Every structure is written in structure tokens, then in C-alpha cells.
Structure 1
Amino acid sequence: MMIFNLPRDLLEEILARVPVKSIRAVRSTCKNWNVISKDERFANKHIGKAAAREKQYLIIGDSMDYLSSVKLYETHNKKFGLSINGKAISIARDHSDQTLYISEVFLSNGLLLYVCRNTTSISRLLLWNPYWGKIRWIECPVYRSFEILAFGCDKSCGSHKILRLSKDNPDNHMMDIYDLSSDSWRTVDVAFDKNVGSSEPGLSLKGNTFWCASDNESKDYFLHCFDFTRERFGPRLPLPPSSYSRYCVFLSSVKEEKLAVLFSPWSTFGFDIWVTNKIEDPYVVSWSRFFKVETEKTIQDIDRGFRSGYFFIDEEKKITVVFDIYGVTDRSYICSVESGHFRKVNLRPLSGAFQLVGCYVPSSVQI
């Protein structure tokens, strides 16, 4: 019996073992395979097997409009290296009558949200499900002088939502929410802390969005969270203690289960990484240290201009990979928690400053 004539249940079981990156080849093989691969029941089975078998980390740069996947592998001498999937999926820059550029990227439950702007700073949003290869354009409300966007999910119904905080003058703060299920924006009357400042995009975890924020008056850092189910902000949450007097703060996630924070000092080379317990409630958080690298050498002694920032963690392998946020590919590091060693890794052919580094689990959500 040829593989094309196998019973459907057996064929589904075989195709469900195909790596996610090869699903497009499956769909183009024959009409029957294409129909099976687009069935939601099969998609959930395929995604479940892929998530259990392979971990993917996404890297998106601002100088190239495509998504690359990175995987950790163990070498013969018990060290770890990185392999890069060079067959990235292109996203054309020109999707309208005006040429757009990508200013921010968000990842939530397997969906990617691109914030696209043109020379007049008018935003359009591109929603993309890499698993299905489908995109959806979303028009933004009128542009204002100050905007913060966030991407999350309503856990009560499973619908993805977009938050936009904006103002056209210091006293007029607006909060708009886009609901994917209704394809519409609405203005919500919810109080939020006007004294909060954040320069980095928020991180989506378990449907909520977290920011490393600071108080505009005291300059103290804290964790801020928006709950997309309740559609309101939670209280200011404490960050773990840092031994650095002046530092940058960056967020990452661990397997869509935990939140991680990295402190990077201004004057010396090093970084300090902490991980939370499982976050089930956006109003409670506790921390434990995962890894620390600290030397007395200055940044100029190590790498002129290096500033550690975006990072991901593999808890099972006890590895963290830290990327240079200025996009110099030979200034990224792979660190072993067990040995305490760190070394440079070459991420070519990647180039340009990074917009997003994150753990990716495919989604069967239709957009």
C-alpha cells in the first residue's frame, strides 16, 4: 500500500510527526495532504507533538522583515551551540499604497503582531500566524503623539486583543482595545497609572502583558501588568534585588510558563538573570536567581558598545543565550548555568538590531 492510500487516521499520525518548519512542504505535496494539514483537529495534534518534541526560539530583526528560528544543540565536547533556520518566511515591506517599516513586534500564544509605520508615523498593524501562513491587516485609530501598544489574550473566551495607550496632551490619556473576534476597536474607561514610564515593548505571558516600568518621579523600577481578561492594570509588582547601581532591565519568558528578568549594568560587563515562579495571577510574583555573570572589566575591555538585552532560557539544559541589542552578531553569548562559563556565539546570517527574541509554540488559531 502506497503512503498516499493509507487510512486517514494512520496518515494523520505520520504527518503529525513532521517538523513545523516542513508543514508548507506537506501542504504542497498533494491535494489530500493539503486538506488534512488544514484541518483544525490535525493542527492541534501536530502542534502538540511539535511542542513536546522541539523547542523553537524566534529572532526578528529590524533590518530584515523575516522570522528565523534558533535551536540549541549539544556538541561532542558537552558544550552547546546554536543552529539557525535560514529558510525564513518573508514579509514584504510594501503591503499598501505606502512603504511601511516595522517598528515593534509582539508575540502572544503563537501569533505575531507587527507594528508598521510610514514616514508620517501613521500606524497599521499586521497580525500573522506563521503556522497557517495567514496574515490580517488591522487599521489603528487616529495617531496621537504618544502611544504604547500591547498584545494579549482574553483567557475567558480565547480571543486575542490589542491594547493601545495614547495621549494627545499631558492630561488626556486614552485607552483603546481591539478585539480580534469582533474586528473592532472600542475606548474603555479604566484608570491607569499616568506616572509610569516604559521604553521597552511589553512581554506577553499567559495572555497578559508585562512591562519593566519606572516611576517618572522616583525613577524606581517595578513590574507592571495589564490583564486582558479583566481589561485592567494590576498593582505594581516588585522586581528582584539588583547589585548594580545603574542598569538596564529586559524581560523574557520561560516556556510560556514563567517570567524572567535580566539586569545589565551600564559600566561593567555582566548580567544578572532571575526567574519567577509560575505566574497564574498577574497580581502576585516571587523570584529566584537563575544565573549571574559579573567581572571587573569594563564594557570597552570586552566589546565596545556591547549591551546585553534580549535573551532566552532553556531550563532543562540550564542554558541562557544573551543577545547584543545593537545587533552585532559576534557579540552574543551562550551561558552554562552548571559550569558558570560563557562564550561568544556567531549568529550569522542574522544581522541588524533585534526587535524580538522569544520562545515560540505554534497556534492553530484562525485569523
Structure 2
Amino acid sequence: MSVAIYLQTMELFIEVKGAVGLHSNLEQVDITQVLHCGGLLLCFTNNNRLVVWNPCLGETRWIHPKTTGYSSNFALGYQKNKSYHSYKILRCRHDFQLNNTSEIYEFGSDSWRVRDDIALDCKLTLPNQVSSQGNTFWLAEDRIFRNKRIVLSFDFTTERFKRFSLPKNPPSITSLSVVREEQLSFFFFFFFVNQDGMHCFVSNKMQVWVSDKIDNDAVVLSWSKSFKVDFQAIDRRFQSFMVDEEKKVVLCCDSCPWIRSMVYTFGEDFDSYTETPYVQSMQLDFPPFIFSYVPSLVHIQQE
């Protein structure tokens, strides 16, 4: 397996090449999806196996789910202790069932716990998620008010979900991102409807919004519009991005790699626009996903 992990600047990247093996480095696996938190990656293989990987140290650990047979959402995070971080995995269904349950895996005990009292009570509207300070954040849709979009978070220390409001209810919100591990960001496009009321189109204007600093004890998030981009040449099907708020620049890639495999940078100043092709994966089940990765020397707890 070969994985390219790009840094926030487009000129530099770290290329990590190595095999992920169960007992040795001889076994090759195909990764279809990756979640990250604190320098660790939770990888999903094409045969629905889970493996936690620290690319910096070359350590891996295979995780065996408690139950199988239903579609789930996973999240990787950690409980904040005084002297160390205790990593956990959250597993929950992504439907609207009222009787669904959640499961939590603890690395220290190598066991899953069923939590009936923290069932997912809303629909995750997009497949991506972001991690900040050990907690996970998603864009979600309210169970009752289907058109109301929110930010849903899971605190791995208290093991509770928390909801945050968006500054408005944008109809074309695309993705969620983390700024410097301490703020959330999203962008959206404007929709216009023709006079016949039957057809709509997306404008060439995009707004980038950034929250205040994330506080684990906060009950609300304050949002502010960071900058606006006016462009015409970019495909707008993005599912992940990174933003440099100081330089007013966004980095993102096509969500349909079978159409065009390109990474873009663009901002308020159109001179910042660039296109960088990337190698298309043979796994087309999941779109490409961009995130900011910081190498870590945290060891993966072994069984």
C-alpha cells in the first residue's frame, strides 16, 4: 500500500510507503476509507475489517467489531486524562431508528461496550467527519425538522453527543473542516431558481465561514464569515477541504475522481488558483478525502 499525506502547503508532502500486516509486513490490504485523530488513522479495508495505524511509528492494531450485519458510522477519538490520552472508537447506526444503540471500543481493555443511552438521534448528511482535540464533528440533519442542518459532535471524555447551530441554514453546504485544530469551518454555494420555478442553478460565489475556538464546555458556537470566492472554472462537488484563514485560500479536490482527478487551491485573489492532478485510486466506492495530518509519536496500545 502506498499513501501520500500532503501538508497544508502545496509545495511539500510526506510520502509514506509500507505494508499494513496482521502479524508481519507481508500482508497487503486495500484501504477504502480513513478516519484520523491525534496522529492515528482508523482504516477500513475492502473486506470490512478495521485497523488502527500510526504511519509515523509503523504500528498497527486490528480491531474486531462486537457485532456485524448492519451499516454503521465510526469515529476515532480519545478521552482526556491528566497525563495521557485514552483512545476509543465509537460505532453507531446512521438511520432514523429510535431504538438504535451505540457501541464504544476501548483500547486499554480491548473490549466493546454497548451504550443504549447515547443513540444517534439525527442523520449524518455527509460521509466525512473531522476531529479536534480528541472529539469528532459531523454535519447532520435534525430527525424531526429534516431541512434543519446542525453540527453534531461526540465528546469521547463524557461519551455524549452535543448539537451546535449553524449561523444560517445554507441549502448547499458542502463540507466541514478544522482550522488549526481549534476552530471549525464550512463553505457553501448560493442557489438560484429560474422564473419557471422548476430549475435551479448554482452561482459562482462561495462563502467560507469559521467558528470561534472550540471549547469542550461550550453549549454554542459563534460563527463569522471569513471570506468569499468568485469563480467559474471549478467543479463544485467537493466533500472535503482545508482552509488557510489568514491567506484566504481553500484547498479541496473533486468528489468524483472517475470524472476528474484534481486538487485545487483557490481564494479571494484568483491568482492563487492552482490545479494539481493526483493518482486515481482503484477503489471508487468512496470519494477522495482531504484532511490535515500531523505525525505523532503516540504508541498504539496493543492487546
Classify the TM-score, shorter chain.
Answer: 0.7 to 0.9
Map 1:306-321 onto structure 2 (within 5 A). 306-321=236-251
**How far does the alpha carbon of each residue in 1:254-285 deviate from its partner, in whole angstroms, 9 at most, with x for none?**
12111111224573244321111110225331
More helix per residue: 1 or 2? 1
* 1:124 to 1:334, Cα distance in 2 relative to 1, 3 A: same
Aligned partner of 1:291 in structure 2 is 227
Q: Is the 8 A contact 1:248 1:265 kept in 2?
A: no
Q: 1:103 aligns with which of 26, 29, 32?
A: 32
Count of residue correspondences: 278
Secondary structure in structure 2 of the residue aligned to 1:83: coil
Do residues 335 (structure 1) and 266 (structure 2) align?
yes
Aligned partner of 2:156 in structure 1 is 228
One-letter code aligned to 2:88? K
One-letter code aligned to 1:189? D
Q: Which has the higher contact order (CA 8 A, sep 6+)?
A: 1
CA distance in 2, matches of 1:308, 1:175: 29
Aligned partner of 1:79 in structure 2 is none
CA distance in 1, matches of 2:11, 2:119: 43
Aligned partner of 2:195 in structure 1 is none
Q: 2:125 aligns with which of 194, 198, 218?
A: 198
Do residues 208 (structure 1) and 135 (structure 2) align?
yes
Deviation at 1:354, TM superposition (A): 4.7
CA distance in 1, matches of 2:78, 2:206: 31
Secondary structure in structure 2 of the residue aligned to 1:153: strand
Secondary structure in structure 2 of the residue aligned to 1:181: coil
**How far does the alpha carbon of each residue in 1:234-261 deviate from its partner, in whole angstroms, 9 at most, with x for none?**
1x2111236x5x3143111112111111
CA distance in 1, matches of 2:28, 2:240: 28
In structure 2, stretches of 5+ residues that fail to align are 192-200
Do residues 272 (structure 1) and 213 (structure 2) align?
no
* 1:276 to 1:110, Cα distance in 2 relative to 1, 3 A: same
CA distance in 2, matches of 1:111, 1:293: 33
Do residues 69 (structure 1) and 69 (structure 2) align?
no
Do residues 173 (structure 1) and 100 (structure 2) align?
yes
Percent identity, please: 32
**How far does the alpha carbon of each residue in 1:323-347 deviate from its partner, in whole angstroms, 9 at most, with x for none?**
22223334x432244x365523213
Aligned partner of 1:9 in structure 2 is none
Aligned partner of 2:295 in structure 1 is 362
CA distance in 1, matches of 2:223, 2:98: 36
Q: Is the 8 A contact 2:175 2:186 kept in 1?
A: yes
Q: 2:280 aligns with which of 337, 348, 351?
A: 351
Deviation at 1:142, TM superposition (A): 1.8
Aligned partner of 1:240 in structure 2 is 167
After superposing the two structures, state which structure 1 stretch, 85-94 or 306-315, moved more.
85-94
One-letter code aligned to 1:68? I
Aligned partner of 1:11 in structure 2 is none
CA distance in 2, matches of 1:203, 1:71: 16
CA distance in 2, matches of 1:102, 1:356: 13
**How far does the alpha carbon of each residue in 1:184-224 deviate from its partner, in whole angstroms, 9 at most, with x for none?**
21112324353434332321111111110012442211111
In structure 1, stretches of 5+ residues that fail to align are 1-63, 73-81
Aligned partner of 1:260 in structure 2 is 185
* 1:247 to 1:140, Cα distance in 2 relative to 1, 3 A: same
- Cα RMSD (Å) of the superposition? 3.1
Aligned partner of 2:198 in structure 1 is none
One-letter code aligned to 1:135? T
Deviation at 1:85, TM superposition (A): 3.4
Q: Is the 8 A contact 1:151 1:161 kept in 2?
A: yes
* 1:115 to 1:264, Cα distance in 2 relative to 1, 3 A: farther
**How far does the alpha carbon of each residue in 1:300-336 deviate from its partner, in whole angstroms, 9 at most, with x for none?**
xx35x54133211234444321222223334x43224
